[in-house]
Amino acid sequence: MEEDDEYDDHGDESTQNVMKHVWNLIAHNAHLAVFIVFVMETERDPAALFFYLLTDPVHYHKNLKDMQKWAYEIHSTFLLPDAPLRVPNITAQIVNEINSALEERFDQDEEHKKLFVKARFVAKNAVRLQLNDFKAERSAGLSRFSGPSESDLKTCVDNVAKEIQVINDHLIPVIDTLSHDLENCTNRTLAIASCLATIMSKIFNAKSSRNASFLDRCPMFLSDKKSKLFGKNVKKIPLMGHNFELKQFTHPTLCNFSKGTIWGIGPQGYACQNCDFNVLKRFVNRVEEPCMEKSRKVTKTTQLSKLASDLGLPLMRTAAPLPGRESLRIFSTNPDELDIGKCNLSLYHS
Ligand SMILES: [Zn+2]
């Protein structure tokens, strides 16, 4: 059972009642904004709350390909073992089931609609506990974070302008503390900023001049716009012999530079078309490791030159075996003198 089964208090818009159940909380944007700020300001872990909000089925893409991209963005941000904003108590079994659904069965039997059901159940329990803390601390006046008054919150229920004002007044200071150095912040801070940008823009529809620059810069889930946070999305980057192409990853892949899993909002990184090197977008210009295909050639050339030199024989370029290519061959005037003349020691340059 994913959703609450108590629907007995409809119509009672007191804060205590709105905050009674998770389903009712997420139907009230101002209350939800205040709860988000409580979680952040009291240094509780916001991972379960953000995951739960962003995987609400109302946000599912209709197009299967977009759905698959989005699913990996969420999976790599919240659920994989080294995800920067990992939801607590997600079991290895839950992660493995999602991994195999992403890789093998995504387009079968509406598999994608069931993808996050178990993880949402775990997350919702965590949110429920935080909500209980919020209610207890607020009613006892104990919390470091007090939030708007009961009457202000009640006004928001049928006044959209007031609702947007409460959301902005409380969330923008939190966003300001996160957003001053998005290029150099930790993965976790960037993930939190992306969640808040998405919630502000897609759930609260609270775009304003006060948050426009943040929403413009910060990568967002559920968005068609590609973030330019780590530079323009250059499609091809030749570097260290690599032929890097911008890529939207859709299943777990290692970043060969940072050694972490490639995560987050796509296109997340670059993949070399000549070798198996993959790298997160933010690190692509720092790659110093040469392309493996290139280095294999280099190694072969070096070995061949050394061998030729040891044998006292010249290393010759020979006629191209294929159009546009040439080969290097150890040249011996007397093939009987050395078996090497019969060996296939040629190297093809493209
Ligand atoms: Zn390469």
How far does the centroid of ligand 1 lie from the alpha carbon of residue 266, in Å? 21
How far does the centroid of ligand 1 lie from the alpha carbon of residue 283, in Å? 15
- Tell me the C-alpha distance between 79 and 91, whole Å: 9
Quickly state the pLDDT bin for 252 (edges 50, 70, 90): very high
Percent of the chain having pLDDT more than 90?
48
When the candidates are 3.90.1330.10, 3.40.50.2300, 3.40.1190.20, 3.30.60.20, the CATH number that belongs to 236-286 is 3.30.60.20
How far does the centroid of ligand 1 lie from the alpha carbon of residue 240, in Å? 8
Q: Which pair of tokens denotes residue 145?
A: 């974070």
How far does the centroid of ligand 1 lie from the alpha carbon of residue 294, in Å? 7
How far does the centroid of ligand 1 lie from the alpha carbon of residue 255, in Å? 13
Whether 28 and 169 have beta carbons less than 8 Å apart is answered as no
How far does the centroid of ligand 1 lie from the alpha carbon of residue 238, in Å? 9
Could you check whether the bond before residue 267 is cis, i.e. omega within 30 degrees of 0?
yes
Instruction: Point out which residues pair with 269 in neighbouring strands.
Output: 247, 280
Instruction: Measure the CA angle with vertex 102, ends 96 and 104; round to 5°.
Output: 95
- Tell me the C-alpha distance between 89 and 281, whole Å: 30
How far does the centroid of ligand 1 lie from the alpha carbon of residue 241, in Å? 6
- Tell me the C-alpha distance between 58 and 185, whole Å: 31
- Tell me the C-alpha distance between 185 and 285, whole Å: 17
How far does the centroid of ligand 1 lie from the alpha carbon of residue 162, in Å? 54
How far does the centroid of ligand 1 lie from the alpha carbon of residue 270, in Å? 10
What burial letters (b/e) apply to 323-333, b meaning 16+ CB within 10 Å? eeebbbbbebe
pLDDT tens across 191-236, in order? 999 999 999 999 999 888 888 888 888 999 877 777 778 778 899 9
Task: Delimit the domains of the chain by residue range.
Answer: 15-217, 236-286, 292-349
ipTM above 0.95, yes or no: yes
How far does the centroid of ligand 1 lie from the alpha carbon of residue 274, in Å? 5
How far does the centroid of ligand 1 lie from the alpha carbon of residue 168, in Å? 46
How far does the centroid of ligand 1 lie from the alpha carbon of residue 71, in Å? 27
pLDDT tens across 2-47, in order? 444 445 556 677 777 777 888 888 889 999 999 999 999 999 999 9
How far does the centroid of ligand 1 lie from the alpha carbon of residue 293, in Å? 6
How far does the centroid of ligand 1 lie from the alpha carbon of residue 271, in Å? 8
How far does the centroid of ligand 1 lie from the alpha carbon of residue 292, in Å? 6
Mean pLDDT over the full length of the chain: 81
CATH, range 15-217: 1.10.167.10
Which residues have C-beta under 5 Å from ligand 1, the single-atom ion? 242, 272, 274-275, 277, 291
Confidence at residue 336, expressed as pLDDT on a 0 to 100 scale:
43
The torsion defined by the Cα of 141, 144, 148 and 154, in degrees rounded to 10, comes to -50
How far does the centroid of ligand 1 lie from the alpha carbon of residue 30, in Å? 49
How far does the centroid of ligand 1 lie from the alpha carbon of residue 324, in Å? 21
- Tell me the C-alpha distance between 293 and 241, whole Å: 8
Q: Rounded mean pLDDT of 143-160?
A: 82
How far does the centroid of ligand 1 lie from the alpha carbon of residue 269, in Å? 14
pLDDT of 83 strictly over 90: yes
- Tell me the C-alpha distance between 156 and 15, whole Å: 11
Quickly state the pLDDT bin for 172 (edges 50, 70, 90): very high
How far does the centroid of ligand 1 lie from the alpha carbon of residue 296, in Å? 11
Q: What is the DSSP letter of 200?
A: I
How far does the centroid of ligand 1 lie from the alpha carbon of residue 321, in Å? 25
Quickly state the pLDDT bin for 183 (edges 50, 70, 90): confident
Element (H, E) at 236: strand 236-239
pLDDT tens across 261-281, in order? 999 998 999 999 999 999 999
pLDDT tens across 123-143, in order? 999 999 999 999 888 888 766
Confidence at residue 106, expressed as pLDDT on a 0 to 100 scale:
74
Q: What is the DSSP letter of 266?
A: S
Q: Give 129-136's long-range contacts (Cβ < 8 A, gap of 24+).
A: 130/35, 130/39, 130/44, 130/48, 130/49, 131/19, 131/22, 131/25, 131/35, 133/44, 134/19, 134/35, 134/38, 134/39, 135/16, 135/19, 135/20
- Tell me the C-alpha distance between 321 and 344, whole Å: 13
